[in-house]
Amino acid sequence: MTRFAPLLAAALLSACAVHPAYQRPAIDLPDRLDRATPQATLATAVPEAWWSVYRDPALDALMSEALAHNADVHIAAARLEEARARAGIADADRAPTVDATLGSARTRSSLEGIATTPRTLNVHSVGLGARYEIDLWARYRNASAAARAELLAADAARQTVALALSADVARQYFALQAADARVDIATRTLASRRDASDLLGQRVAAGSAAEIDALNADAAARAVAAELAAARNAQQATEATLAVLLGRSPRAIVDATVFRARHSAAPVLVPDALPAELLRRRPDLVEAEQALVAAHARIGEARAQRLPAIALTASLGRESTDFATLLDGSAGMFSLALGLTQPIWDAGRLKHAQDAAEARAAQARARYVQAVANAFADVRRALAAQRAAMDSRDAQAARVEALDRALSHARLRFDAGLVGRLEVLDTERNLLDAQLRLADASAAQKSAIADLFRALGGGWAPPQ
């Protein structure tokens, strides 16, 4: 037995060389995703149903509908099932195969060749055959590991689709609420402008106002009517886009209405510090790394194909020239065989296959490193966008408040005869513009938070 020890040791060393251990690429990562002070308390990850932080039952219902019926989600789920089936095939390749055979043949030999007596023979057979290839170089083990990694990557891809879908649904939902607000603002403003235009018309008829004031008031009302038409168009377009994301049928897209809350969603506060660990649960990063793991395992599979293959075959059954004696004891037969196959010359096909596997692994490694860098860039952009959106919303809210007070003063001054109607119209136009911009800024601020959730791969728990 000791004489075979060097051979066994050499085989083990060769197996290790065929399948080198996987190591995650070393990347220089920051500790935190923002520039908070070191004393800030870190938030923790909460990946499930991140949209619940808005505390909007209508949004919750739309998310459930989209995740259940969206076509992209169904496609991703089908791809996951395909990857699971491929993993099952790879696992099955590691097990023996057993086949049942049943055959009947009739042959006639040539008089000019090797003659048989009789010349015409009938051969009937029935039996079982088995074959098993010893996985000495971990070829099938590597293939199975690669398939498992591809299965995990497919599951992560499905989660990526769901995360992107939920963020898109949230954005369109907030855009629809903004469109509703624009329609409401324009409708109220139009009613006010028409009342003012009618009142000025009566004053002109009574000789207490100039006709130019009435004309300007009518023009201002018509401008708001045009704004209202544009707002209604945006409302319908946004609702149709959201209906498609929800996976609704063509009939429902045309006939049904997307239910939404009329009140604003609860404000969402971003913690002072977000740890870089939050990004570890991003599904696209999981997908990229599992693709790298699979490509790494494929290298071992390709290397093993260039080494000797040892196969065991066995058969057991019965064979007879007469069907009536096929079950007699004398018709029994069996065979056992051990075969070794070593590729000698294939014009470099197996070597090129190994080179291709190594090149694909290099690509997967670069894609993983790039995915990590893009993830941190996404978070940085999302953090900057949500802060800018919050500042913009606060500024627009202050502007609306100031212009509302200014309009009250302008109307009092106009009624007192201190200013002309034009000053009131200018203030009204500025107030309408500020109100519309505030509606858009509020939606942009909530959408920026949704983009941050998407960049982080989910939600977070606020620090205690």
**Residues 171-186: tens digit of each pLDDT:** 999 999 999 999 998 9
Would you say 305 and 353 are in contact if contact means Cβ atoms under 8 Å apart? yes
pTM over 0.85: no
According to DSSP, the β-strands at 120-134 and 459-461 are: unpaired
How far apart (Å, rounded) are the C-alpha atoms in residues 283 and 166?
A: 14
> What is the band of 259 on the pLDDT scale with cuts at 50, 70, 90?
confident
Structure-token pair, residue 45: 């990850």
Q: Is the pLDDT of residue 40 over 60?
A: no
How far apart (Å, rounded) are the C-alpha atoms in residues 36 and 38?
A: 6
- Looking at every residue in the chain, the average pLDDT score rounds to 84
What was the pLDDT predicted at 172?
Answer: 94
What was the pLDDT predicted at 19?
Answer: 66
Q: Find the angle CA(81)-CA(85)-CA(90) to the nearest 5 degrees.
A: 145
List phi, psi (to 5°) of 463. Answer: -65, 145
More confident residue, 75 or 40: 75
What was the pLDDT predicted at 34?
Answer: 65
Question: Chain-centre distance of CA 439, in angstroms?
Answer: 30
How far apart (Å, rounded) are the C-alpha atoms in residues 77 and 161?
A: 10
What was the pLDDT predicted at 371?
Answer: 92
Four-way CATH pick for 23-94+135-307+349-461: 1.10.3720.10, 3.30.1540.20, 1.20.1600.10, 1.10.10.10: 1.20.1600.10
Strand partners, 45: 460
What was the pLDDT predicted at 5?
Answer: 47
pLDDT (mean) for 321-350: 86
Helix (H) or strand (E) holding 159: helix 139-206
pLDDT (mean) for 183-212: 80
Instruction: Indicate the domain borders of the chain.
Output: 23-94+135-307+349-461, 99-134+309-341
**What are the tens digits of pLDDT across the range 365-404?**
999 999 999 998 988 888 889 889 889 989 999 999 999 8
> What is the band of 71 on the pLDDT scale with cuts at 50, 70, 90?
very high
What was the pLDDT predicted at 265?
Answer: 60
Question: Chain-centre distance of CA 251, in angstroms?
Answer: 27
Give the position of tokens 């200013």. 419
Note whether 23-94+135-307+349-461 and 99-134+309-341 share their fold. no
How far apart (Å, rounded) are the C-alpha atoms in residues 436 and 384?
A: 23
What was the pLDDT predicted at 37?
Answer: 40
pLDDT (mean) for 145-157: 94
Q: How far apart are the first and last CA of the chain?
A: 66
The stretches of 19-70 forming alpha helices (DSSP H) are 57-69
How far apart (Å, rounded) are the C-alpha atoms in residues 377 and 288?
A: 16
Q: Is the pLDDT of residue 38 over 90?
A: no
Helix (H) or strand (E) holding 320: strand 309-320
What was the pLDDT predicted at 336?
Answer: 92
Centre a 10 Å sphere on the Cβ of residue 179 and count the other Cβ atoms it contains: 22
List phi, psi (to 5°) of 101. Answer: -125, 145
> What is the band of 332 on the pLDDT scale with cuts at 50, 70, 90?
confident
pLDDT (mean) for 202-213: 75
Would you say 321 and 122 are in contact if contact means Cβ atoms under 8 Å apart? yes
Four-way CATH pick for 99-134+309-341: 2.30.29.30, 3.40.50.720, 3.30.420.40, 2.20.200.10: 2.20.200.10
How far apart (Å, rounded) are the C-alpha atoms in residues 249 and 253?
A: 6
pLDDT (mean) for 301-321: 91
**What are the tens digits of pLDDT across the range 233-247?**
999 999 999 999 999
More confident residue, 170 or 199: 170
Would you say 15 and 136 are in contact if contact means Cβ atoms under 8 Å apart? yes
What was the pLDDT predicted at 85?
Answer: 96
What was the pLDDT predicted at 179?
Answer: 92
pLDDT (mean) for 299-311: 92
What was the pLDDT predicted at 43?
Answer: 52
Centre a 10 Å sphere on the Cβ of residue 57 and count the other Cβ atoms it contains: 11
Share of the chain above pLDDT 90, in %: 42
Lowest model confidence (mean pLDDT) among 103-107, 164-168, 263-267: 263-267
pLDDT (mean) for 49-69: 90
What was the pLDDT predicted at 168?
Answer: 94
What was the pLDDT predicted at 463?
Answer: 55
What was the pLDDT predicted at 266?
Answer: 60
What was the pLDDT predicted at 42?
Answer: 46
How far apart (Å, rounded) are the C-alpha atoms in residues 119 and 107?
A: 8
